[in-house]
Amino acid sequence: MLPSLIRRGASDEQQHQSGFLARAFNALATKIFAEACRHIGIAPRPLLHKRRATDRAADYRRYYSDELAQLVADHFEPDIRLLGYTFDPPATGG
């Protein structure tokens, strides 16, 4: 049975760093967007989330069948290999 989706195995420190990088990316994206707005002559606005999901299961793997996970794995195989991603074990209960 194929595990349900891919995830990069990461230590707590790596996960902390990736959170920092995500926040830094968002800050940079906001600055770039503001500059693009100024360049075309419109006032920049805050970049808001279209929808903040609060109704989703905490374990994303519940949304993927083994068949769908295999399709994702096949499609992104070069990226998975290059970036060293691995498969999580299947989600259990709850």
Q: Is residue 93 in a domain?
A: no
pLDDT at 43: 93
pLDDT along the chain (94 residues), means of 10: 42 62 81 93 85 74 83 88 76 52
Q: Is residue 81 in a domain?
A: yes
pLDDT at 94: 44
Nearest to 18 by CA among 7, 3, 29, 2: 7
Q: Is residue 70 in a domain?
A: yes
In angstroms, rounded to a whole number, what is the distance separating the alpha carbons of residues 29 and 47?
9
Q: Is residue 92 in a domain?
A: no
In angstroms, rounded to a whole number, what is the distance separating the alpha carbons of residues 70 and 80?
12
Q: pTM for this one?
A: 0.39
Number of structural domains found in the chain: 1
pLDDT at 18: 62
Q: Which domain holds residue 67?
A: 6-87
Q: Is residue 1 in a domain?
A: no
Residue ranges in 41-89 assigned as alpha helix (H)? 66-75, 77-83
pLDDT at 81: 85
By CB atoms closer than 10 A (0-12, 13-18, 19+), residue 72 is middle
pLDDT at 35: 94
